Structure 1
């Protein structure tokens, strides 16, 4: 005896049994007929009618045992057909006995060697059933007529069937499975055999066409096929190991031979082969649906008349289980028949199978995403109907993440520089997304990334994120909103292409948009967009300025932000765009990237922050302008207001309060009643030490503000000579230089000479490497600007300058700047000394070096020049002539033309008098610059 499960009932006397599932695909199965019984035969093809009562006989046996575990034994096999005959028991009851007792089969005696062990009992039961006119033995005319059915196999009108049953479950029996998702079903109400497939999913095919081998392999393939034909076959296998005789088994033989005797002949195309996991998928559906009475929900019909829908199984939707087990995948071409809720549930089931990497998804890997897979941000710019830039709160200043809305495609914007025009509906699509998203807090879920090729040849492609974006708690994504309004379409993807989890909702939204003829689907041509661009054309712009001034407040949209206070704006009412700058505030300039010809600049401190602030607050926002004037370059000047109603405010106040700009005193007079609010905003920024006000003390230190102008004689040493009149000095006692150098030595011991990433903006304080002959070491430095070969820095404790690479810089924390710069920047008081590039400039520098280098000098500060440098008089001793007088007497320097204006004390006036005496001596002796007479020029301006 063996055990198995009834997989199918082929007729009233034959069942298909399966064993326990193994680890290598579907379990073994066998067909077993009940011995000594003969039931009416079902018609299984067009033109072959049922024998009378065949359906009722099969239904009796099917309802009794389908899907149940039974005990069976093979008693004999037919010699010619190889059919197996035996007995089957369900819970101890013989199925043959039950069938015979109900009269649904005839009892037959096939001889002594081919008869059932239950034959005697069956004969008696058959006689009793016939006597009682049970089952097939009834003689009632009404029952005789009911026992016949006529199945409609051909000329099936799928459209009519769908119209009759759409949305209403129809009773049916699944009679055959081509694969896990394609069936033949018999509708009970009309006895119509239909082709039916699960809508929205597809299992691997059982009869997928095999690929023909390449010509070079034809001969080898033919030989291998012939050899395989000699030994092909499958031995019988028992369902339950260790059971009695007659286990479930199968025996198949396959033969193959080469096509012709010539090895070079082209073999016939290989027979269709099952796709991977096709047998598993078919078995999965068979054990649940084959010969089961189910309700079908018809949802669609294709051009061939095949119907699509769902099987309403008592335990759930078989589509979900196929997807969860990795035995099917969703397909777009039949998903259109499925409701949105069902599609979302199916997609979730498919994702479960993917994440578990079951069967079809064994080699599947989720899209590789660089960076955050999901985050919250603020939309700062909309580039088109499906692309935008987002800033992440707390991220680096000015850093924006450009992304595209996944799985949709909006009309492309053109490029006037390349002569590319906008696609139809491109402007409307971009404007629709702008109104939906600009300035809004959004949730971004990155679905996948792609490399986007650049327009410039030779540039590496840019990796762009494609994401699902939703605004606030809105259940709909921006993709779905754009598609359902007809402003974008669904991207047609290949089966395995990554996509948004909301793809099915987007497909449904597009169907609704097409049905409603919305947007792009309306059939109407969009209106033409003709923009008058006044940017760069100052003459044309000036023709508009008077009109804009007379209009007063003008509604506009900020199209581009060039800096904290400079924008490109678009006025929809006048259909023109122009440059605009706020007059009452001055913002630091942002850095500007150069091109192949150079032209870059590092930018002012907080210029990048001012640009980012204005982009976040104003980019593509609706604003109000009040134009008051226009400069010579065609830039409109005036005031900009943002917000509406009680929130309406002058944007200059926001800039000032953030400390990202300073008031222009001249423009402040023209602000009228708003002047006080701007002053209050700037005062608030100063009090909070925000933005530019946070670096004011440091900048004052860099200008030597802490060095008091004192006419007392103090001891100094020259530490750097820039030229004969420009130099740096140390306090003779050394000041805090030793402490600073010790702290920087600790830094070198800790990090070596490796630089660190930083943004070397002009005015930035940092550490820079310098080699004084004893190896490179770190020194405090201030960035002066960029050059084609590196960054120009000033070593603030020694006064020398150098050009270093960015890799030779590293940022320092504030503890390193607890000490003021040790090198005091000075100039020779009341003198004009030639620069090194001028005649006698080197003589003057060498003269100062000879007079003062390496010596302890006395110095007296007699004021500051226009650049804040100390105007110094230097002496070797209290009784000696000043070095200033000596250089003038040597004819390598002279008195500044505005010296008298700079003299603010009696000592200063006395110094000027002595310098005049020295200059007169040099003039009379024709020394150096005086050798040809008077060397002064009337138009010189020394300071």
Structure 2
């Protein structure tokens, strides 16, 4: 906006500053980040001159400037500049006619003169109509005694400000630290006179007009480029004229750039930091020559104040520090941030984090530090606490998931805190001090109580010995973290705001632990996900340290002596029997549910832990029908609860037998009533407490045919849930075949499984986004990811099987081999078709189950007819969309845990087409592409019957010389058609 280019035409702009009663700084209306601006002087008028810092005003100079400031600051104006010859010094000033908003009736010069705050300049040349009008208005103001023409005696003298010495750049009578201390918490009115950079302002403190520099607390904006020269970065010598005649130098203190400027050190001009000008302009537009409120926090020895600055914007009060951080023009700094209250500190930190995530302005090229934590969204739920694993980990039964579902219980690790470790005797890890107290505190507070859980982030942690990196395996697991709120038992327990805007009622469990010294707040890195209530945790930790609570106390930690009889010899447990029988009933805590009727109990009074089994009550063993349901019921009902027991005897294995009550209810009765146990009177009904109640409970379950009694017929013996006269009921799954491997193996997926539909729905609703930036996402072997299937471009859960050479992708086309865990197929995909797997679908096990045809042997792909067998099996199973009934004959667990395609537990099944009832094994035998596996033909009557039924199909293939029988019998010598003979016993 050069003068030559703007003379002669009207321009529009916004008033940015008002330096005096006749001068304006007008900013252009361009959309640039920093629009052009110019300083103009009102044409034909002269206002009283203001003092510079420590000088003396002309009379009415301040009132004149205030009138013009309040009239014009921040408003749109239209102005016309006039050509003016340069002065003798060579400097030129631009004079302008300024109209408020473009209205001809709002001529600023006329308004100033009419109110008596300026006089009309003497005209050397011929006067025009505007000057004549100004002279008329001036005479009118004089007559009325307005402004500087006041007729009140002594008014001119009273209008001159008595300016105290400036506090900037040295010692004055002003003590910034004393001022901040005495005005802590008070809102001080001020007018900003200069903006040094985005976070440093020079202001007049009203009403004393103390001129002081104020640093905005909690933030630091990019510098405007001034730096202290290296040779001058020293503390000034302490001279004899210092207060109190002190001559001893103070300890050397590293100064901030702003303090070096304030101290008057030699400066050199350097280019501003990136976005330094933008930050300064942002602050100027909101505070320069405007009324602000300052909350002083502290002062330094250069008489600079540090505090919060609040300004008004369209009637709304805003915090300058927060607005700068939101707009990516300042970063949070701890040295002054710690002065703020928790609410302001949290808001500024959150604003900075959001600006970093969105890469706004100074964070444009920001690369977050490496972290293995990811946020979790929309994972809030309510439920009852089932188990306390440790002081910072609990298991919650989700109210929204049906009882018995694999996802009914959810493990929640408390966000942003760390409790002492419980240790593991098996690995030699000792228990840390206060670990038991932290766990016991949660047990007493939470077990069986309703809680509100706000899931916040997940983190991948390595599995293995963390103390020995060389021994650490490549595998890792994902742990979910959240904040847990204990639901109030009465209406008056308070409300805590949640991360997603809701208000879960109750107390923050993590904060309860920290304030008692039973946990400490995690020191997170800059960009790391953390609890939404992290500041409250830090405040609680400070309180615990100050009060010397728990692990912060100077005393010795509590000692614990609990003798574990579960690992002791049978003789030693029998020695304890008299001590457990001398009191008829003992108080105990259920430490672990071993099975539906067998538990590990801790007996505090006797300082021991024991294995305990219910007398006369037997639940199905592990692997039998309803065994898991019995365990789940006991976990919900008595795990980690206070119970009472009566010990009757101890068996030869060291397990104590007796009765157990929870809330005066016999737990044996609960199991029997639910149909999850049988009453065995052979234990001796006369010595079993409540034996008549146990018998009644079992009769009730029989009448209702509940659970293990579902096939009960009166008068028949029940064996493992079915009558002895019936054949053992086999498990049958309705499945579809999703992938065929060689050797008769294939993958199936259950039809009608709600989990299948849920996973598919969640995957379909995901916002996949752009391909990851190289280096930001480095999947390793064994990691679960999202992968795009090449056949239909759908996104599915997959496990990384192989990675490129070097282990990290160097280009978007580097190839990874993946195994689709929900379908069983495997392929190679490029890096740009992989994404991070959301935590919501990470923990659900793969939906594809490896299976194999029972009773038959199918040649592998490397053997003769192996390829033909695989193709025919695919034709039988994959070409039809009809589901199959898979009768599970056996489970082969020799493959261990699933690690990829073709490994893990194998279901040996008889696969029957639901529509045609054709048996796939029979079809393979008939085609000569499989043969009977005769080694275990005589194991059971059922197996022999199945073999006999299938043998006719194999005989037909032999007769027709189909497939592998083309050249005759190919049975190996070691597969006898007769049952194996028994080996004679070896005499010793």
TM-score where L is the length of structure 1: 0.63
Structure 1 unpaired stretches of 5+: 211-267, 591-602, 708-727, 729-739, 792-802, 820-834, 855-891, 894-927, 930-934
| Counterparts of residues 249-328 of structure 1 (less than 5 Å) | 271=270, 273-276=272-275, 282-298=280-296, 306-309=305-308, 311=310, 313=312, 314-318=315-319
CA deviation after TM superposition for structure 1 residue 695, in Å: 6.9
Q: Which residue of 2 aligns with 1:380?
A: 386
Q: Which residue of 2 aligns with 1:562?
A: 594
1:606 and 2:626 aligned = yes
Do the aligned partners of residues 424 and 807 (structure 1) sit closer, same or farther apart at CA in structure 2, a change above 3 Å counting? closer
1:67 aligns with 2:87: no
Partner of 1:720: none
Corresponding residue of 1:173: 191
SS for the counterpart of 1:605 is coil
CA distance in 2 between partners of 1:30 and 1:817 (Å): 90
Q: Which residue is equivalent to 1:884?
A: none
**1:96-115 pair list within 5 angstroms:** 96-105=109-118, 108=121
Structure 2 residue 491 is the aligned partner of structure 1 residue 461: no
Structure 2, unaligned stretches of length 5 or more?
1-9, 228-266, 466-471, 488-503, 754-844, 859-868, 877-883, 919-933, 953-977
More helix by percentage: 1
Change in CA separation of 1:486 and 1:148 when aligned onto 2, cut-off 3 Å: same
More displaced stretch, 388-397 vs 368-377: 368-377
Q: Deviations over 1:393-440 (max 9, x none)?
A: 326348643332112333343444455444443332222222332233
Deviations 1:514-533 (A, max 9, x none): 56554455555532334333
| Deviation of 1:674 (Å) | 0.7
Report the Cα offset of residue 475 of structure 1: 4.0
Following TM superposition, by how much is the alpha carbon of 1:605 offset from its aligned partner in structure 2, in angstroms? 2.9
Q: What does residue 675 of structure 2 align with?
A: 659
Q: Given the superposition, is the C-alpha separation of residues 53 and 587 from structure 1 closer, same or farther in structure 2, using an over 3 Å criterion?
A: same
Q: Does 1:445 align with 2:451?
A: no
CA distance in 2, matches of 1:273, 1:331: 20
For residues 367 and 619 of structure 2, the distance between their equivalents in structure 1, rounded to whole angstroms, comes to: 53
Match 1:390 to one of 393, 396, 410 = 396
Q: What is the correspondence of 1:288-687 to structure 2 with a 5 Å cutoff? A: 288-298=286-296, 306-309=305-308, 311=310, 313=312, 314-318=315-319, 368=374, 373-392=379-398, 393-394=401-402, 396-397=405-406, 400-456=409-465, 457-472=472-487, 474-513=505-544, 518-521=549-552, 524-538=555-569, 539-590=571-622, 603-643=623-663, 648-667=664-683, 669-672=685-688, 674-687=690-703
Check whether the contact 1:756–1:811 (CA below 8 A) recurs between aligned residues. no
CA contact (8 A) 2:376 2:457 kept: no
Residues 336/652 of structure 1: CA separation in 2 closer, same or farther (3 Å cut):
farther
Question: Which of 387-396 and 137-146 deviates more?
Answer: 137-146
Q: Distance in 2 between matches of 1:409 and 1:192?
A: 49
Q: Is the 8 A contact 1:408 1:479 kept in 2?
A: yes
Within 2, Cα distance between the matches of 1:374 and 1:767?
41
- Larger displacement relative to structure 2 (54-63 or 769-778): 769-778
Q: Distance in 1 between matches of 2:268 and 2:708?
A: 79
1:255-299 per-position Cα deviation (integer Å, ceiling 9, x unaligned): xxxxxxxxxxxxx999454445x6555544433332222333446
Give me the TM-score of the superposition, normalised by structure 2: 0.60
Matched position secondary structure for 1:451 = strand
CA distance in 2, matches of 1:14, 1:749: 81
Please say if 1:144 is aligned against 2:154. no
Q: Distance in 2 between matches of 1:424 and 1:329?
A: 39
Equivalent-residue separation in structure 1 for 2:529 and 2:311 (angstroms): 30
Question: Does the C-alpha gap of structure 1 residues 149 and 747 become closer, same or farther in structure 2, counting only changes over 3 Å?
Answer: closer
Q: Which residue of 2 aligns with 1:905?
A: none
- C-alpha separation in 1, matches of 2:935 and 2:529: 67
Distance change >3 Å, CA 680–CA 198, structure 1 → 2: farther
Higher relative contact order (CA 8 A, sep 6+): 1
Alignment check: 8 A CA contact 1:297 1:312 kept: no
Question: Secondary structure in 1 aligned to 2:582?
Answer: helix
Partners of 1:556 and 1:572 within 8 A in 2: yes
Q: For residues 720-735 of structure 1, what are the structure 2 equivalents within 5 Å?
A: none
SS at match of 1:411: coil
Counterpart Cα distance in 2 of 1:303 and 1:573:
63
Secondary structure of the 1:755 match is: strand
Aligned partners of 2:441, 2:85: CA distance in 1, in Å? 76
Q: Is the 8 A contact 1:36 1:116 kept in 2?
A: no
Per-residue CA shift, 1:826-880, capped at 9, x if unaligned? xxxxxxxxx999xxx9xxxx9xx99xx99xxxxxxxxxxxxxxxxxxxxxxxxxx
Contact in 1 for aligned 2:28/2:37 (Cα 8 Å): yes
Deviation at 1:767, TM superposition (A): 9.2
Using a 3 Å threshold, how does the CA distance of structure 1 residues 66 and 406 change in structure 2: closer, same or farther? same
Q: What is the Cα deviation at residue 640 of structure 1?
A: 1.9
- What is the CA-CA distance between 1:787 and the residue it aligns to? 5.5
Contact 2:204–2:211 (CA under 8 A) maintained in structure 1: yes
Structure 1 SS opposite 2:83: strand
Shift in alpha-carbon separation, 1:372–1:187, aligned structure 2, 3 A: closer
Could you tell me whether the CA contact under 8 Å between 2:395 and 2:409 is conserved in 1?
Answer: yes
Distance 1:524 1:195, change over 3 A: farther
Give the structure 2 partner of residue 861 of structure 1.
Answer: none
- SS of structure 1 residue aligned to 2:690: helix
* 1:93 matched residue in structure 2: 106
C-alpha contact 2:57 2:160 (8 A) present in aligned 1: no
Answer yes or no: is the 8 Å Cα contact 2:733–2:887 preserved in 1. Answer: no
Larger radius of gyration: 1
| C-alpha distance in structure 2 between counterparts of 1:519 and 1:58, whole Å | 62
Show CA shifts across 1:740-759 (max 9, x none): 9xx99998899998432589
Deviation at 1:342, TM superposition (A): 6.1
